[in-house]
């Protein structure tokens, strides 16, 4: 039995079409837009009639009569030119819900062929504090990781640190200028070098902009930085030692942000890890005539005849010998192939890097860098904007640090929960935990509920509201159920078999049955917003149920036990989906 109710029903209705000598594809069943007419709808008779040159209502009538015999429908009706409306028997709905509820993954794992998926997200850079641009990369990437883990995929998450290239040379030269007495700059010094980093992360964050503007004013400095980058890549001991310190303090700093956002990486690799692979890669491209020289640089031509836009070649090596962002990305693909043999690699990176990934992916195909069946996908996303509709900036036009965004969100959440009167109910420790969870839920849900490619406005006041399409609201729905279940335990009330007595129960059961649709569609499109929509629809349906149906107050024991059971399943599912969004639910609030 498949977890998806719609797939199951479509197959059944498809069979009926087939027995009428019509293509089973016309049996596609969808959720009804108008619940009062039925739970489900099949509109295939219209298309079937066209291809069979028959009257659609006649076809629909024949199909409907055959469907009556299946015994799984409580109501069937015809509408308009040939729409079939369906309502399942309670027995069928109940048995489906019981089946999926019996499984940890609501039947989803069983239905999915596990794949090996590499997720590349986060993408921080050495010496630069994570900023607004990394917010979405982290939130969306982490959600996709959790989604694929839930489905039973074998998931590798790699942070892919930006730790190679010219910025490293700039930093080395800037540190040399500011702290010339350090031992790292003497080409003859083979070490050992001090174990303690000569720079703190705060210093690094000032050193980088200083180096960057110096390189713009001073061509000699830029040249020296290029030279240093090259030496670093070749392995000069002092530079490597200094670089390692910069990397380590930067990683330690980003870990604080990732922990706050609940992001989990199985690999902490970076561009630099490709260094030893690059010479052999360049050699292989060259000897197979896959790369060529162009103005002293080595490039891979990737343009295709049917290209509608210009597709510049990917530069593997510049004329000065330095390798580029694209080179390390291409080498990373080759190394991932060798080490993991993945089915797919997903890059959760700003949509503005679209051309870069297109170039790298094409070059990977040119060079057979990856298994031909494996897929490469750039999972792009839009920008986070300020209330002026432009990409978010600080008041003086600078980049907004990720840490401050998280802290602001938690601060706003603290205000909201205090205003809601929680301050007197909880210890300050628990209150802080709640505020943190609410704040994180607020920014995550706000981000993920948008279509990934759209931009959105960062508005904490809206994000932290306890109503509508917000993280705190979904979270609160779960907390309320938790508290009800605790009460039930206290009162010695146990859950029991489902008995259906009210339309609100059916609607809730129907909403619960839609999880697999949501999960597979979200994975297919790398679209967590589909999960957000699902959990929102579910909490709405639960609220109607809770409004219309007594649970603990119900006097009929069997009905009470059944409703409690529905509450348990609902809580489990809300928590599962929120977990896929990276949102944790407090015990109480
Ligand atoms: N460090 C890059 C940046 O800040 C993002 C890295 C994305 N991943 C990749 N494999 N290129 O823009």
For 114-136, what is each residue's pLDDT tens digit? 999 999 999 999 988 899 889 99
Alpha carbon of 7 to ligand 1 centroid (Å): 38
Within its chain, how far is the Cα of 573 from the centroid? 18
Confidence of residue 33 (pLDDT cuts 50, 70, 90): confident
When pLDDT is cut at 50, 70 and 90, the band that residue 65 belongs to is very high
DSSP 171: H
| 284: nearest Cα among 366, 372, 376 | 366
Q: How is residue 527 written in tokens? A: 């679209």
- Provide the CATH number for the domain formed by 402-580 in this structure: 1.10.730.10
How many A from CA of 291 to the centre of ligand 1?
Answer: 24
Cα–ligand 1 centroid distance for 379 (angstroms)? 12
For residue 399, the model assigns a pLDDT of 85
Judge whether residue 145 has pLDDT over 70: yes
Q: CA–CA separation, 30 vs 514, rounded Å?
A: 11
Judge whether 378 and 137 are in contact, CB under 8 Å: no
Cβ(170)–Cβ(208) below 8 Å:
yes
Write down the pLDDT at residue 583: 98
Nearest CA to ligand 1 atom 3: 123
Q: Whose CA is nearest to atom 2 of ligand 1?
A: 123
Q: What is the pLDDT of residues 500-525, one digit of tens each?
A: 999 999 999 999 999 999 999 999 99
The Cβ of residue 49 has, within 10 Å, a number of other Cβ atoms equal to: 20
Residues near 107 by Cβ (< 8 Å), separated by ≥ 6? 1, 2, 3, 99, 100, 516
Q: Are strands 73-79 and 83-88 parallel, antiparallel or unpaired?
A: antiparallel
Percentage, residues of the chain above pLDDT 90 = 90
Atom number of ligand 1 nearest to Cα 325: 11
Average pLDDT of every residue of the chain? 95
pLDDT at 477 over 60: yes
pLDDT digits (tens, 9 = 90+) for 359-388: 999 999 999 999 999 999 999 999 999 999
CA–CA separation, 413 and 244 (whole Å): 38
Instruction: Report CA-CA distances (Å) from 342 to 117, 345, 398.
Output: 6, 7, 39
Cα of 229 to ligand 1 centre, how many Å?
Answer: 19
The CA 155 to ligand 1 mean position distance, Å, reads 19
Residue 468, sorted as left (phi over 0), alpha (psi -120 to 50) or beta, turns out to be: left
Residue 181's pLDDT band (cuts 50, 70, 90):
very high
Mean pLDDT throughout 299-320?
94
Calculate how far, in angstroms, residue 1's C-alpha sits from the geometric centre of ligand 1: 42
Residue nearest ligand 1's atom 5 by CA:
123
Compute the distance from residue 177 Cα to the ligand 1 centre, in Å: 29
Which residues' Cβ are closer than 6 Å to ligand 1? 120, 123, 125, 160, 162, 329, 347, 349
Is the predicted pLDDT of residue 423 greater than 90, yes or no? no
What span, in angstroms and rounded, lies between the C-alpha atoms of 189 and 280?
28
Which position has the token pair 């409690």? 564
CA 494 – ligand 1 centroid, Å: 51
Q: What is the per-residue pLDDT for 537?
A: 96
Ligand 1 geometric centre to CA of 298 (Å): 22
pLDDT exceeds cutoff 60 at 212: yes
Nearest CA to ligand 1 atom 7: 123
Closest-lying ligand 1 atom to the alpha carbon of residue 350: 12
Where helices occur in 152-200 by DSSP H, the ranges are: 166-178
The pLDDT tens digits for 482-499 are: 999 999 999 999 999 999
Q: What is the pLDDT of residue 133?
A: 86
The answer to whether domain 5-88 has CATH 3.30.1360.70 is yes
Closest residue by Cα to atom 12, ligand 1, is 123
d(CA 391, CA 287): 45
CA–centroid distance, 160 to ligand 1, in Å, is 7
From the alpha carbon of 161, which atom of ligand 1 is closest?
A: 1
- The DSSP symbol for 131 reads B
What gap in Å lies between CA 327 and CA 317, rounded to an integer?
7
Return the best residue to mutate from 168, 353, 363 for the ligand 1 pocket (most ligand atoms within 8 A of CB): 353
CA angle 214/257/134 to nearest 5° reads: 60
* Mean pLDDT of the 60-75 span: 93
CATH 3.30.1360.70 in the chain, residue ranges: 5-88
Check whether 199 has a pLDDT greater than 60. Answer: yes
pTM, rounded to two decimals: 0.95
Ligand 1 atom closest to 128 (CA): 4
Rounded to whole angstroms, the Cα distance separating 200 from 175 reads 12
Minimum-distance ligand 1 atom for the alpha carbon of 134: 4
Q: Which of 123, 140, 364 to mutate to test the pocket of ligand 1 (most atoms within 8 A of CB)?
A: 123
Question: Tokens standing for 114?
Answer: 């596990």
What residues pair up with 131 in beta bridges, in sequence order? 401
Mutate to test the pocket of ligand 1, among 122, 162, 165, 314 (most ligand atoms within 8 A of CB): 162
Intervals of CATH 1.10.730.10 along the chain: 402-580
Q: Residue of the nearest CA to atom 11 in ligand 1?
A: 329
Mutation choice for ligand 1 from 159, 349, 360, CB with most ligand atoms inside 8 A? 349
Phi-psi region of 73 (alpha: psi -120 to 50; beta: other; left: phi over 0): beta
Beta bridge partners of 41: 30, 85
Residue 1, pLDDT > 60, answer: no
How far is ligand 1, taken at its centre, from the CA of residue 163, in Å? 10
Whether 67 contacts 76, CB under 8 Å: yes
Q: What is the pLDDT of residues 247-282, one digit of tens each?
A: 999 999 999 999 999 999 999 999 999 999 999 999
Gap from CA of 280 to ligand 1 centroid (Å)? 23
Our mutation pick for probing the ligand 1 site, out of 160, 250, 369, counting the most ligand atoms within 8 A of Cβ, is: 160
State the pLDDT at residue 35. Answer: 84
Distance in Å, CA 337 to ligand 1 centroid: 19
């Amino acid at each position: 039995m498949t977890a998806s109710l719609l797939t199951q029903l479509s197959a059944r209705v498809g069979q009926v079409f087939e027995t009428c000598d019509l293509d089973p594809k016309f049996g596609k069943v969808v959720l009804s837009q108008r619940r009062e007419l039925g739970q489900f709808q099949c509109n295939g008779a219209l298309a079937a009639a066209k291809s069979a040159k028959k009257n659609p209502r006649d076809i629909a009538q024949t199909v409907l009569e055959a469907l009556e015999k299946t015994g799984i429908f409580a109501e069937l009706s015809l509408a308009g030119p040939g729409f079939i409306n369906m309502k399942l028997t309670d027995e069928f709905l109940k048995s489906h819900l019981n089946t999926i509820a019996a499984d940890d993954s609501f039947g989803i794992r069983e239905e999915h062929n596990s794949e090996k998926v590499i997720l590349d997200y986060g993408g921080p850079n050495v010496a630069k504090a994570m900023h607004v641009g990394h917010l979405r990369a982290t939130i969306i990437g982490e959600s996709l990781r959790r989604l694929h883990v839930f489905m039973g995929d074998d998931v590798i998450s790699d942070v892919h640190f930006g730790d190679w290239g010219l910025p490293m040379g700039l930093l080395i030269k800037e540190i040399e200028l500011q702290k010339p007495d350090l031992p790292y700059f003497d080409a003859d010094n083979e070490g050992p070098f001090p174990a303690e980093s000569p720079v703190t992360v705060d210093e690094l964050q000032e050193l980088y902009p200083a180096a960057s503007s110096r390189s713009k004013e001073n061509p000699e400095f830029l040249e020296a930085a290029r030279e240093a980058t090259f030496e670093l890549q070749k392995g000069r001991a002092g530079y490597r030692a200094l670089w390692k310190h910069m990397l380590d303090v930067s990683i330690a700093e980003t870990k604080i942000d990732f922990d706050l956002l609940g992001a989990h990486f199985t690999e902490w690799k970076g561009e630099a890890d490709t260094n030893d692979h690059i010479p052999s890669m360049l050699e292989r491209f060259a000897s197979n005539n896959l790369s060529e020289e162009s103005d002293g640089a080595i490039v891979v031509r990737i343009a295709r005849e049917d290209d509608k836009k210009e597709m510049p070649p990917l530069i593997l090596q510049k004329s000065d010998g330095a390798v580029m962002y694209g080179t390390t990305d291409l080498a990373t693909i080759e190394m991932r192939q060798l080490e993991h043999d993945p089915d797919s690699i997903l890059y959760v990176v700003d949509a503005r890097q679209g051309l870069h990934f297109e170039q790298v992916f094409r070059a990977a195909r040119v060079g057979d860098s990856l298994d031909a069946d494996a897929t490469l996908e750039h999972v792009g996303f839009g920008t986070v904007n300020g209330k002026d509709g432009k990409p978010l900036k600080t008041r003086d036009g600078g980049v907004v640090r990720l840490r401050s965004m998280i802290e602001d969100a938690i601060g706003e959440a603290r205000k909201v929960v205090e205003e809601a009167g929680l301050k007197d109910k909880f210890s300050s420790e628990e209150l802080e935990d709640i505020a943190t969870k609410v704040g994180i839920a607020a920014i995550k849900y706000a981000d993920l509920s948008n279509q990934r490619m759209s931009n959105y406005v960062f508005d904490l006041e809206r994000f932290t509201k306890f109503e509508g399409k917000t993280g705190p609201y979904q979270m609160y729905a779960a907390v309320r159920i938790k508290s009800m279940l605790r009460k039930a335990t206290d009162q010695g009330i146990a859950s029991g078999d489902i008995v259906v007595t009210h339309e609100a129960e059916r609607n809730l059961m129907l909403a619960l049955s839609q999880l697999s649709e949501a999960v597979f569609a979200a994975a297919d499109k790398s679209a967590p917003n589909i999960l957000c929509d699902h959990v929102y629809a579910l909490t709405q349906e639960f609220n109607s149920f809770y409004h219309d149906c007594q649970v603990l107050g119900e006097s009929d024991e069997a009905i009470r036990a059944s409703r409690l059971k529905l509450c348990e399943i609902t809580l489990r599912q809300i928590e599962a989906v929120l977990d896929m969004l990276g949102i944790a639910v407090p015990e109480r609030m």
